Structure 1
Amino acid sequence: MSAPQVISLGCRLNISESEQIRAMLAQERDLVVVNSCAVTSEAVRQTRQAIRRARRDNPAARLLVTGCATEVEREQLAAMPEVDGFVANTAKLDPRAWNVPAAVPAPQDRTRAFIAVQNGCDHACTFCIIPQGRGPSRSLTIAQVLAEVERHLEYGASEVVLTGVDVTSWGHDLPGNPPLGELVQAVLDTFPNLTRLRMSSLDGIEIDPLLFELFAGEQRLMPHLHLSLQHGHDLVLKRMKRRHLRHHAVDLVERLVALRPDLAVGADLIAGFPTETDDHHAANLSIVRDLRIVHGHIFPYSPRPGTPAARMPQVERETVKRRAAQLRAVATQTRDEWLASLVDKPHSVLAERDGTGYTPHFARVALPHGTTPGEILTVTPQRYENGLLQ
């Protein structure tokens, strides 16, 4: 190999950071970087698997590991003979940590720009180890975010996505504690030519009044709300130490959809959390329908050593798998019904590099051969097949 290879596991923020690492290390040779994840025991297993595979495929390369697993599973990873070294998760975007020049690299993705406006987390959800891997919540200032947006737009990005570990906590550590809506408004006001601004996963209980108004009425803010929901039953939410209850999510979505009927709702849901009963699971299934969740991210619970949930009474693994499959089935049916309803209607679609593109509410559309990546075009799909509007 010659050019560096960056292998990314885990969340969207990790993927965004991997792109920055790839650009920063563009002049390096014979280097493999594994940007690890530690959100679950399964994620750590996949990290170790990725490290072993990378070494088999690149026996002569220098192999470095960064990401959350380097903070919470350092001893386990250090014992792997395939690993040559580590870069601290908090330093992985610092050129000095990689011993490369500090020049700002050109963005690699000129279609959609992921901008991490916040990192870390101050909360203590009982299933989550991420605060140990990424540290406390830290926010970019509005000026820093605007500079990043401007840089990506200069390189031709057609859509900007504001992302982070706990995006709705943005601003809590800044002077005056500005709400996230203030940042979103500043981006829209500063860049009137930015036609598509999208938010990554949000904690619904922390959506401030200004951000609510923007979701309800600002056409340049995409009608795509992804909630860090986790469960549909209040008792399980309390045992997770979430800060919302079921009715908070239902009320939020009902109010927004009443003002913006085309809003597409996504959510993270965990199946088989410790102590989950059949009734709890039924509430999880029903909230998919109640909120009309069309972008469902379903996770079977797996115990993460070092978290309070790992010490709670566990649900049998076969039951966890079965409940996850049932949740996926309901989410898939809800999504299929929604996508079928979009047929024979015109949609503004942002073209990707793989011959598909995405509508404002993140429905995936097949595009004509030869469409230029980054182009925004109007498409009227004639059918829905195999997960694609066509």
Structure 2
Amino acid sequence: MSQVDAGQIRPSDGKGKVAIITLGCGRNDVDSDNVGGLLTADGYDMVTEPDDADLLVVNTCTFIAPAREESVDVVLGATDTTKPVVVVGCMAERYGQELADAVPEAAAVVGFDRYRELPQIVGSALGVRDPNGDAVASDEAPASRRGLPLFGTGPSGPDAPPTASFPLRTVPKGPWAYLKIAGGCDRVCTFCSIPSFRGRFGSRTVTELEAEVRWLVEQGVRELVCVSENTTSYHKDLPGGRRGQADLIEMFDRVEGLEMVRLMYLQPAEITPLLLESMAASDTVVPYYDLSLQHASAPVLDRMARSGSPERFLRLIEGIRQRDPGAVFRSSFITGFPGETDEDVDTLASFVDAAGLDWSGVFTYSAEDGTPAATMPDQVPHDEARARAEEITQIIEAVALEKAEAFVGRRLEVLVEDHEAETAIGRSYREAPETDGEIRVEGLGTPVGRLAPVVVTSTDGVDLLARPA
């Protein structure tokens, strides 16, 4: 994607109003921000409500079958309007031609390598004309944009200026934002299709990230949620290797005005002592550990082409708690993986109960085209996989309630995100945005985007209730 210094994003030329509908994970949110920044720089107005837009961009997800079904439903719903629809995202990349054939009403289906052409594609769909009076063509990007990477890097190295460029993105609308530190994945998990359409793992330089972080903070962001396909691979492909993870954390610590940073998608097999020590020592990276576990049974993990066991995972979690006594944990699990037995489910249930994870999610296995697991023997019937997920969910919910109650009486710093009458709504280091619970503080008048000390008084399910400290 084209890169300029943040200050070079110019006001709209009034070419048209565009709304982006984003499905899927935080990585897609960042992609939508980048697309919005590119369109804004080209003179389009970005609007929040689809009803206010002249054109809709649907950023799709294809991670598992339900995500694909949702993406198709949203695309079909969008094409039922009178507005042109441009389809982008993972489903457009992976099933581009099939999607274009299935939804001919869409103005365009655009894969990742054509994102730099989106201003022309959108212009063509809206009938926008260039200064010579000709309709903007969508089949070829202008020479000024041709060949530019989707997510390239700015100047790097010890002499690089702190104002290095970074991919365009829209101005954040609240006190937190996603930060995409890398893209792609080199792992070969047998259930996952992401490497087939997201490509090889590639890290962004600390210099480029620092430029983006400082710009985000200037826009009022106080919390960053770092996302990638595998955060523990960060910097392995750059000079210095994974030691660059400590440099990344040190960078966050020196950005004035940045209050909280979360590192999401930590792969247990790649976690290093240096990363754990750096996180525990940081004043900015919070003790929130998002561990990508997927299961606890060693035979199931082996068939997933992953590694681990209840004993190994419990040692990892206990080691983190010893380094970082305030640590909270999130993970997700898959039930119904091919060959999973009742004994495997019992192993997972015992682990979930013993691990005491603060937040967890459960997904039923979905056979993905082109993955080794899709053709494995002993496929588990969907109804059985769903029943196993419900069994694990019951344990997860009980543990989550217990972990929430343990915070009663504790003092926390809350980032205020909203107000409802006399109640402030926010989150502490314990709650990641969009996935976890919230904290409601009656009688707190702290403005949105500011931190406030509170004391937890009670719980409402997994949410915390508090009073000003």
Q: Same fold (TM over 0.5)?
A: yes
Matched length:
387
Q: Specify the alignment match of 2:95 in structure 1.
A: 73
Q: Distance in 2 between matches of 1:93 and 1:217?
A: 40
1:62 maps to 2:84: yes
> Against the structure 1 CA distance between its residues 62 and 280, is the aligned structure 2 distance closer, same or farther, given a 3 Å change threshold?
same
* Partners of 2:266 and 2:291 within 8 A in 1: yes
RMSD value, Cα: 2.4
Matches within 5 A, 1:212-227: 212-227=276-291
Q: Specify the alignment match of 2:447 in structure 1.
A: 372
User: What SS class does the counterpart of residue 24 from structure 2 fall into?
Assistant: coil
Matches within 5 A, 1:161-240: 161-179=225-243, 181-240=245-304
Q: Distance in 1 between matches of 2:290 and 2:204?
A: 22
Matches within 5 A, 1:294-309: 294-309=358-373
Q: Distance in 1 between matches of 2:116 and 2:427?
A: 29
Q: Distance in 1 between matches of 2:285 and 2:219?
A: 21
Cα deviation digits, residues 283-331 of structure 1 (max 9, x gap): 1112212221111021111211211111112111111111111111111
Offset at residue 94 of structure 1 (A): 7.5
Q: Which stretch shows the higher mean deviation, 82-91 or 28-37?
A: 82-91
> Against the structure 1 CA distance between its residues 179 and 303, is the aligned structure 2 distance closer, same or farther, given a 3 Å change threshold?
same
1:42 is aligned, of 55, 66, 70, to: 66
Greater RCO structure (CA 8 Å; 6+ sep): 1
Q: Tell me the TM-score normalized by structure 2.
A: 0.77
1:331 is aligned, of 396, 399, 405, to: 396
Cα deviation digits, residues 345-369 of structure 1 (max 9, x gap): 2211112247521111215201347
Matches within 5 A, 1:249-264: 249-264=313-328
> Against the structure 1 CA distance between its residues 86 and 353, is the aligned structure 2 distance closer, same or farther, given a 3 Å change threshold?
farther
Percentage identity across aligned positions?
28
Offset at residue 213 of structure 1 (A): 0.4
Q: Which stretch shows the higher mean deviation, 146-155 or 202-211?
A: 202-211
> Against the structure 1 CA distance between its residues 159 and 91, is the aligned structure 2 distance closer, same or farther, given a 3 Å change threshold?
farther
Q: Distance in 1 between matches of 2:238 and 2:213?
A: 19
Matches within 5 A, 1:249-288: 249-288=313-352
Offset at residue 85 of structure 1 (A): 0.6
Q: Tell me the TM-score normalized by structure 1.
A: 0.92
* Partners of 1:115 and 1:163 within 8 A in 2: yes
Q: Which stretch shows the higher mean deviation, 350-359 or 88-97?
A: 88-97
Cα deviation digits, residues 19-64 of structure 1 (max 9, x gap): 33334435245111111111112211111011112223xx221211
> Against the structure 1 CA distance between its residues 213 and 32, is the aligned structure 2 distance closer, same or farther, given a 3 Å change threshold?
same
1:314 maps to 2:336: no
Offset at residue 180 of structure 1 (A): 5.0
* Partners of 2:54 and 2:83 within 8 A in 1: yes
Q: Which stretch shows the higher mean deviation, 117-126 or 289-298?
A: 289-298
Offset at residue 273 of structure 1 (A): 0.8
* Partners of 2:222 and 2:260 within 8 A in 1: yes
User: What SS class does the counterpart of residue 270 from structure 1 fall into?
Assistant: strand
> Against the structure 1 CA distance between its residues 91 and 107, is the aligned structure 2 distance closer, same or farther, given a 3 Å change threshold?
farther
Code of the residue aligned with 2:176 in structure 1: it is R
> Against the structure 1 CA distance between its residues 97 and 305, is the aligned structure 2 distance closer, same or farther, given a 3 Å change threshold?
farther
User: What SS class does the counterpart of residue 285 from structure 2 fall into?
Assistant: coil
Q: Which stretch shows the higher mean deviation, 271-280 or 195-204?
A: 195-204
Matches within 5 A, 1:94-109: 104-109=168-173
* Partners of 1:77 and 1:83 within 8 A in 2: no
User: What SS class does the counterpart of residue 311 from structure 2 fall into?
Assistant: helix
* Partners of 1:223 and 1:360 within 8 A in 2: yes
Offset at residue 99 of structure 1 (A): 6.5
Q: Specify the alignment match of 1:3 in structure 2.
A: 17
* Partners of 1:20 and 1:93 within 8 A in 2: no
User: What SS class does the counterpart of residue 352 from structure 1 fall into?
Assistant: strand
Offset at residue 192 of structure 1 (A): 4.9
Code of the residue aligned with 2:297 in structure 1: it is H
| Structure 2 runs not aligned, ≥5 long | 1-15, 46-52, 124-143, 146-166, 432-436
1:15 is aligned, of 29, 44, 48, to: 29
Offset at residue 337 of structure 1 (A): 0.7
Offset at residue 386 of structure 1 (A): 4.0
| Structure 1 runs not aligned, ≥5 long | none
* Partners of 2:261 and 2:284 within 8 A in 1: yes
1:241 maps to 2:301: no
Code of the residue aligned with 1:263 in structure 2: it is A
Code of the residue aligned with 1:62 in structure 2: it is P
Q: Which stretch shows the higher mean deviation, 373-382 or 175-184?
A: 175-184
Q: Specify the alignment match of 1:83 in structure 2.
A: 106
* Partners of 2:408 and 2:459 within 8 A in 1: yes
Q: Specify the alignment match of 2:150 in structure 1.
A: none
Code of the residue aligned with 1:276 in structure 2: it is E
Q: Distance in 2 between matches of 1:116 and 1:314?
A: 35
> Against the structure 1 CA distance between its residues 94 and 281, is the aligned structure 2 distance closer, same or farther, given a 3 Å change threshold?
farther
Q: Which stretch shows the higher mean deviation, 87-96 or 342-351?
A: 87-96
User: What SS class does the counterpart of residue 334 from structure 1 fall into?
Assistant: helix
